[in-house]
Structure 1
Amino acid sequence: MTDSAATAPTTGSPSRTVADLQRALAQRLASNPLLNSESGWRSLTARLARQGGPFPPAPAPADGDGDGDGAQPADRIGELVAACGDQADDAEALADALDHVTRDPGLALPLRTVADWLTARTLLSDAELDELRGLLDQVPAHQAAAAAQACLPFLAADLPAHCTGTWPTTLHLLRRNMLPTGLPPLLAYLEHLAAARPAQASALHAWAGSKAEDWGLTEELQACRTAAADFVLPERSPARVMFVLLPDGLQKDTYTLRMWHREGARAKPALRDEDTQAVSHTELRPTVAQRLRQWVQETSEAVLDDMCVEFWLPLPLINEPVWDWCADATQPARPARTVLIRSLDRLQIPTIQSAWRARWDSLMHASEEAESPDRGTAVSAPHDAEPDRESAASRKSQDPVILKSPPSDKEGRLQFLDALRNGAPAILWHRLDCSAAFQSAALRLIGAGPLQELPDRISALRADHRRSTSADDAVTDITLLWDDPTHTLPTLHSLVAPSEARVL
């Protein structure tokens, strides 16, 4: 079992039980400043009193600054969490009260999983739940989510926020209403997973068939099995996080920061009002790191394994160390998978759109014709090597463009803008010094495999360098602008003064 003294509870962790979730949740709540305050505690208990249920009464008024009932915050919160350990409705009531008082929906997510688990225990025995959990232990969270959505009726509500893993998703389906066919969603879900995972199909069919027989639903299950036979998991798109920095227009060195994020197959990330704020240049790095850190904490591990962070930047910010901004927000053992720079200036030049798309198509076509390097070949950045001029001359499309100096310099800025106006979709440079060593390293990276995999090669090279003790500047500050016209920016609201941005 997971140690209850571990970090904040993860609803998708397969080794947690109801008791594990409750203990870890109690520790998390006990460290919340609002719930540690007398006013916050009174608000919570007053809210619970109105909802009813087996919850402790509100404490008596306190003398001075001490606790009203003399109990330590950890003790009284532990008592509160334990009080909802038997009934799903009580767990939901406490979760609703926490949402109302703290205004932090993520804080009570483990309680939602507890409620689902308690409901599941009224429908299945612990032995059956353990067996089912074992069958699904190797199913990735994104596959579970896709199968769950496929088995639900058209226009059914999305999975709730606490379904961040395979097991929470499975438990939640036990609470959903019967399908129009009369089949429980859980059994339809298992049939869809069986169709998508042939290696486990026999075991999943056997478990679902046994329960269908117990519940008198054999015919309904067989019909579902036939209908689900052609189910194929949708192609998974990477988790995409976009930071857009718009010049303020009123104050110098101030930018309007907007953030979008897309997880899995969600094609249209939604912008929330609170995602927009005015940020000074000096606060960009900590603000971006804080936003990204929060998103990482709220996102399932399966999504983080394939993550891309895009920075849509105006020309004055195009040479900022965005890789370092991301490094501040991620663990050293899990650096950002891919970090890309996108140009906002390109979107403001309508006359280059056709050239941009044509050069992108040419780059992707050349990528398809290129042969991948041997798996054992490592890409390295040489220290004292002259650029391979013959290799440079042989690149017919001249994509990616390699800058001769950083875009923060006059020469580099002119070359960058010229490449942009000519529709170049990919531009490579070194943030500090586009030296001969960098030029050679860039040519090696470009020629090491298909061009469409260039962002992955750069990410792998930087990750390897991050783990090493060397200080190779040709690797540390290598930067790629990668403007894919098929992955564009979501529609922006009309730009207004930062003081009005929050009400958009």
Structure 2
Amino acid sequence: MPLYSEALYRSIVLVDVARFTDPRRSFQDQVAVHRSLAELLERAFDDAGVEWCSCYVEDRGDGKMILVPPEVPQSRLVDNLGSRLLAELRRHNAVHSDAAAMQLRVALHAGNVARSSNGTVSPAINFASRLLDAPDAKARLARTGSTLALIASEEFYRDVIKHDHAAEPDEFRQIPVEVKETSAVAWLRLFGATTAEAVPAPSREVLDLLPSGDLEELRDPLEHLHVPQLPTLVHRAAGPGVLPQPPDANPWQVLKYLADVNAGADGFPPALAFVELLARQVADSAVRTKLAEWSDRQARRLQLEARLEEFRATHARPVPADARLHLMIVIQHDGLDPELFTVSHWRQDDPAEWPPARGHDRSARIDEIERHVDELVVEAERAWCGHTGSVALEVVLPRALLNLPVHLWHKEHDTGMPRPLCLDYPITVRSLERMRSPHWHRMWNRRWRTLWEDPRSAVVHYARPARPDNPHALDAALERDQRCAAILLTAAPSREPRRGDQLISALRAGLPAVFWHRTDAEPERVREVVEWLAEEGGLTELPDRTHAVRRDAHLDAPTRFDSKVVQELVVLWDDPDRLVDPEELAG
């Protein structure tokens, strides 16, 4: 069995030769490219101040993976590596035939990497591979005839490039990355373009599809129109790969942007889809009629009447102004390094869509997890800037981490004035073991349905310490009362299950809600809080009620409950309708 090194935070550089397998390349051409690639990379790295001999390099046939030592400043990868690569590529292309010429795509990212005799393991490397395959980067490299495409992750751009004037951050353009299960953004810079088109020009085909004169008809009704949930409408019209719009964008600006976005596989133009969605969302009946008539004319002209009717049937209802979005964060052990954890996330940008695409993973030690959650929350808020409804945070934890005080964590640490997450969001924890255990889901779904069909009949079971001679007494009691939707445990769950384990009994019985106190507070005071949270059918509103009581605990005034009791109360709230693929949970 191979031994894995301790995971180290490394700068990651992935290199790929564009169109290496192009039929115009002979075998001899491929050999020449392969040989020259290693030579020019070594020279370029050395010239940029990154000693090639100090890097870990894996050959990937038509590319390389380079892990830069942790002690090498990341700025050296951006201030002149691009120019050195461009110089070496130009030298190579000047003395080789067109079939042996090279264009490169280079991805820049950073993260924890573990190594063994069998190779490397790292979610960060997996994510960098997705950046390298970004369709926009490939298309722009080909369209502009550029020699080099430098693709930086959002984090690498934000933490390194943006603050280094020598890296010329203004030369980078944001692009979407929609590859396999990854949905993200990256930053692209092109070197050596042979045309003046450094960023994509509006597609002539799309402009012909929706002529500018027809678009101008909608300027007046849309330019000063305020529409709730505008980001959700854009997402539904163009899909998750579309770039987020500025916070102050109006519907007219969005329509002009979408007019330059090609139709997907269904052939339905995103701009036309956006107008249809707007027609459902606006309150002014005259504007609704104008938008619907405009859509009808465009559909007739494009012979898309049947497709338009299908779209109208599937999007008949407007997006509610108070719709809730969720950010689900999953924390689990790395599997290789016992001191590392993988932080994954699924950010919902459309209240009707679940599950959304998985974001890229992060690796962290236990004391770093809060800062990573902070970054994910701030990123989500940027994406949700036009959302007018509420949002909620769900943190999915393995049993050993269920007592992490996630509801006491903060955001915006970088400001020097961090703000408690519980002031802004309902925060609940969820069970990773239950989400991964489909043989528990039938009971879970049944209890959930019973709760929502008759919330006022739902009850909380107040557990008592188990008797050693009867470890299944709680199992029997929960099975006997099918109205039971929640349980207050007698103590915080241990890291490992024990005989007569109350948490295991609750999860197996399918209870959607589980309460416990992280410390040794007086049971009567804890019960008082739980009774208020559950009274009068309140279990269906549990995340919001919990948010209210946690928020009020921060008031500089007397409150209903002891603030210390409230702050240490853990609420596990598991919605069986909001799951992610177990294969993705397995990493």
User: When the two structures are superposed, what TM-score results if normalisation uses the length of structure 1?
Assistant: 0.59
Determine which of 245, 261, 278 is the counterpart of 1:193. 278
Q: Deviations over 1:433-456 (max 9, x none)?
A: 442222112101110444211111
Q: Which amino acid aligns with 1:289?
A: D
Q: Which has the higher helix share?
A: 1
Query: 1:400 Cα shift?
Result: 1.5
User: Quick one: percent identity of the two aligned structures?
Assistant: 22
Q: Deviations over 1:31-87 (max 9, x none)?
A: xx969974278589999999989xxxxxxxxxxxxxxxxxx9879979x78xxxxxx
Determine which of 553, 557, 568 is the counterpart of 1:477. 568
Q: 1:334 to 1:193 in 2, by over 3 A?
A: farther
Q: Distance in 2 between matches of 1:480 and 1:171?
A: 45
Aligned to 2:47: none
Moved more, 416-425 or 316-325: 416-425
Determine which of 51, 76, 80 is the counterpart of 1:39. 80
Task: Tell me, yes or no, if the aligned pair for 1:98 and 1:108 is still in contact at 8 Å.
Answer: no
Aligned to 1:260: 346
Q: Which amino acid aligns with 2:173?
A: A
Determine which of 173, 191, 195 is the counterpart of 1:95. 173
Q: Deviations over 1:372-400 (max 9, x none)?
A: xxxxxxxxxxxxxxxxxxxxxxx983431
Aligned to 2:212: 123
Task: Tell me, yes or no, if the aligned pair for 1:308 and 1:337 is still in contact at 8 Å.
Answer: yes
Query: 1:242 Cα shift?
Result: 2.3
Moved more, 434-443 or 246-255: 246-255
Q: Is 1:160 matched up with 2:242?
A: yes
Q: 1:401 to 1:166 in 2, by over 3 A?
A: farther
Q: Deviations over 1:77-132 (max 9, x none)?
A: 79x78xxxxxxxxxxxx627999xxxx945689xx99977xx99x93699978634
Q: Is 1:280 matched up with 2:348?
A: no
Task: Tell me, yes or no, if the aligned pair for 1:34 and 1:41 is still in contact at 8 Å.
Answer: no
Aligned to 1:465: 553
Q: Which amino acid aligns with 1:430?
A: H
Task: Tell me, yes or no, if the aligned pair for 2:409 and 2:421 is still in contact at 8 Å.
Answer: no
Task: Tell me, yes or no, if the aligned pair for 2:444 and 2:511 is still in contact at 8 Å.
Answer: yes
Aligned to 2:233: 144
Q: 1:76 to 1:323 in 2, by over 3 A?
A: closer
Query: 1:492 Cα shift?
Result: 2.5
Aligned to 1:85: none
Q: Is 1:430 matched up with 2:517?
A: yes
Aligned to 2:463: none
Q: 1:494 to 1:458 in 2, by over 3 A?
A: closer
Aligned-partner SS, 1:266: coil
Q: Distance in 1 between matches of 2:142 and 2:358?
A: 35
Q: Distance in 1 between matches of 2:324 and 2:504?
A: 29
Q: Distance in 2 between matches of 1:468 and 1:234?
A: 40
Q: 1:261 to 1:193 in 2, by over 3 A?
A: closer
Query: 1:141 Cα shift?
Result: 1.3
Aligned to 2:483: 397
Determine which of 403, 406, 411 is the counterpart of 1:322. 406
Query: 1:179 Cα shift?
Result: 11
Determine which of 302, 313, 329 is the counterpart of 2:397. 313
Q: Distance in 2 between matches of 1:478 and 1:494?
A: 27
Q: Distance in 2 between matches of 1:491 and 1:276?
A: 19
Q: Which amino acid aligns with 2:285?
A: A
Please tell me the root mean square deviation across aligned C-alpha atoms, in Å. 5.4
Task: Tell me, yes or no, if the aligned pair for 2:339 and 2:366 is still in contact at 8 Å.
Answer: yes
Determine which of 535, 538, 544 is the counterpart of 1:447. 535
Query: 1:305 Cα shift?
Result: 4.0
Query: 1:401 Cα shift?
Result: 0.6
Question: How many residue pairs were aligned?
Answer: 392
Query: 1:432 Cα shift?
Result: 2.4
Q: 1:328 to 1:467 in 2, by over 3 A?
A: farther
Q: Distance in 2 between matches of 1:263 and 1:366?
A: 30
Query: 1:321 Cα shift?
Result: 0.6
Q: Distance in 1 between matches of 2:386 and 2:213?
A: 27
Q: 1:398 to 1:220 in 2, by over 3 A?
A: closer
Query: 1:261 Cα shift?
Result: 2.6
Q: Distance in 2 between matches of 1:139 and 1:96?
A: 25
Q: Deviations over 1:292-314 (max 9, x none)?
A: 333333x1224484322222212
Q: Distance in 2 between matches of 1:208 and 1:113?
A: 33
Q: Is 1:492 matched up with 2:583?
A: yes
Determine which of 157, 160, 169 is the counterpart of 2:254. 169
Determine which of 375, 379, 386 is the counterpart of 1:290. 375
Q: Deviations over 1:215-269 (max 9, x none)?
A: 9989989999988776513667743322222334555454333333332133233
Aligned to 2:331: 245
Task: Tell me, yes or no, if the aligned pair for 2:408 and 2:421 is still in contact at 8 Å.
Answer: no
Task: Tell me, yes or no, if the aligned pair for 1:135 and 1:203 is still in contact at 8 Å.
Answer: no
Structure 2: tracts of 5 or more residues without a match: 1-73, 88-103, 105-139, 146-162, 178-183, 190-197, 459-480
Aligned-partner SS, 1:291: helix
User: When the two structures are superposed, what TM-score results if normalisation uses the length of structure 2?
Assistant: 0.51
Query: 1:317 Cα shift?
Result: 1.0
Query: 1:137 Cα shift?
Result: 2.1
Aligned to 1:338: 426
